Amino acid sequence: MASRLQKIRLGDLLIQNGIITAEQLDMTLIQQRGSGRKLGQELIAQHLVTEESLLTFLASQLHLERIDLSQQALDPQLVLRLPESLARRYRAIPVQDRGNHYVVGMADPTDLPALDAISRAMGKPVEMALISESQLLHILPQLYGAVSKSAELREALGDTVTTSAPPPILESSAEDAPIVRLLNAVFTDAARLQASDIHFEPEESGLRVRLRVDGVLREHLRVDGRLMPLVASKLKVMANLDIAERRLPQDGRMHLELEGKAYDVRMATMPVQDGESVVLRLLDQQTALLHFNELGMPRNIEISLQNIMHRPHGLFLVTGPTGSGKSTTLYAALNEINTIERKIFTVEDPVEYRLQGISQVQVHPRIGLDFARVLRTILRQDPDVIMVGEIRDHETAEIAARAALTGHLVLATLHTNDAVGAFPRLQELEVESFLIGSAVLGVMAQRLVRRICPSCKTEDHDVSPAERAAFAAQLGVSPDFVTFFCGKGCNTCNFTGYRGRQPVFELIRMDQLLRAAILSNNRTALLEAASTQKQFSLLREEAMRLVWEGITTLAEMARVTSEAEED
């Protein structure tokens, strides 16, 4: 193959096959002298060919394998056999280990010196395959991110990490730099993957780092377990916690700038059998600036919410499990009504996002500053709008409901499976039924379902005929008209098949039928009353719509909405 490549010039090949003319080649060569780009890059820049058409042509002409990096699973350990500096210099990446040789994807098949250098660096013969340079540059930070940094960390620490040595105070120790490099790599990868949480978990076999991406935990890397005390101590310093306290849980926060975004990071430590577990929640401050029209809700629900938010008084509740996006929705609501004419207070545990022009209060139950006490005090501060982070007890629920009847707009969250479940929940908290009917403006339940990755979206042929028939029957259509989709898995989505999340909403507004159903304390009556409202549809029905539209999968719909069907 090498001898064949040596005899071929890219420009000659393209002219021989009528892809470009000799005049176009001459003009491109003149432009190339000024730009310093390779010929293929210059041809693409001049729009004489596209990258995809050029690669397809070269693969055919040179009898090389064409590899789509967005669809190719890559082994991180194999990737690290080629140093990052060489991967970037030669636009190459190891793809497969075939025993006696490696398959290496390269963007430039005519760069034979690069092929020889890669073979020497990896210690085996190398077979070339064609890859897209743009795809390679997109995934290189991911491939040479935390995995390479953890290996670098182990090498940098060397013998300084021993089982008997106590963990140093990292502000001035020599080990601080590699620890910081590891943490920076993890933080950067978490921001790039849009992770909501980072878990540092000490185990007998080592330190495991997991990221929660799109609501699901995935393992990110493993390092020597003896590093956990160093990592925990450094994180405690960053969060202004007591590094000497390892027997009791601690909570703190820090501020980070990652990938050009500002994050507030909540940190929680917990003593476990093999050390201290540390969980960081990443709060993207841009999320606090969202408005209703950026949340992805149906237009009819958006209009209903805007009407509720501009009512002078009343109680609006958002329900759902932890991590379902309730706080994001309430912050979007505050953005809708945050004007100079309104005095707005929030009562939170903890304060997640900082909002300009709004007075935010952090509760501290240990010193007696709980939700109820803060609410009573806020009512003497002449507020127009109050947001309650969570209604947990009778006193908070009672104060919130009565505040809603005395000229205040109150927004709050409640832990229930669906919207109609909010009313019996308030009754369990001993709020009178007549007070619920008079104070509540509306209740919205929500979930977050994962979206199918657009880069690897394909038709799902694994859905059984019984599942297809049941789904079609619920929609009232023929099974022949139902097409299911899924993600095959690619580098864009880290081979999960999902990328990003889509909210699912269920909104009930208060009316006479609903008030009567609340007094009857009957769930069936509540559902019947809600079903008469134009904007109301069940969470499962909304999730089914997303499956029908090819936004999410049947499995994801079942995973997220199953709990909402429970009584």
SS3 for 107-173, per residue? CCCCCHHHHHHHHHHHCCCEEEEECCHHHHHHHHHHHCCHHHHHHHHHHHHHHHCCCCCCCCCCCCC
To which residue do tokens 């042929």 refer? 461
Cβ neighbours for 115, distance < 8 A, ≥ 6 positions apart: 2, 104, 106, 126, 128
β-bridge mates for residue 447, sequence order: 504
Q: Please write the tens of the pLDDT for every residue from 280-297.
A: 999 887 776 788 888 888
* E-only strand ranges, 214-274: 216-223, 250-258, 261-272
- What letter would DSSP give residue 527? H
Is 177's pLDDT higher than 70? no
Q: What is the mean pLDDT of residues 439-447?
A: 95
Q: What are phi and psi of 232, to 5 degrees?
A: -60, -40
Task: Give the pLDDT band of residue 529 (cuts 50, 70, 90).
Answer: very high
Secondary structure percentages of the chain, helix, strand, coil, to 5: 45, 25, 35
Is 483's pLDDT higher than 80? yes
More confident residue, 431 or 89: 431
Q: For residue 327, give the nearest of 285, 358, 288 by alpha carbon.
A: 288
Task: Give the pLDDT band of residue 184 (cuts 50, 70, 90).
Answer: confident
The region of weakest confidence among 223-227, 384-388, 463-467, 484-488 is: 223-227
Cα 99 to Cα 258: distance, rounded to the nearest angstrom = 40
Q: Give the tokens for residue 162.
A: 């021993």
Residue 260: CB atoms within 10 A of its CB come to 6
Residues across the chain: 567
Are 331 and 375 contacting, i.e. CB atoms less than 8 angstroms apart?
Answer: no
Is 560's pLDDT higher than 70? yes
Is 189's pLDDT higher than 60? yes
pTM for the complete prediction? 0.71
Cα 366 to Cα 388: distance, rounded to the nearest angstrom = 19
| pLDDT in the model for residue 166 | 36
Question: Measuring CA to CA, how many Å separate 178 from each of 34, 133, 241, 311?
Answer: 41, 31, 21, 55
Cα 315 to Cα 397: distance, rounded to the nearest angstrom = 10
H or E element, residue 88: helix 84-90
Cα 530 to Cα 540: distance, rounded to the nearest angstrom = 15
Is 388's pLDDT higher than 60? yes
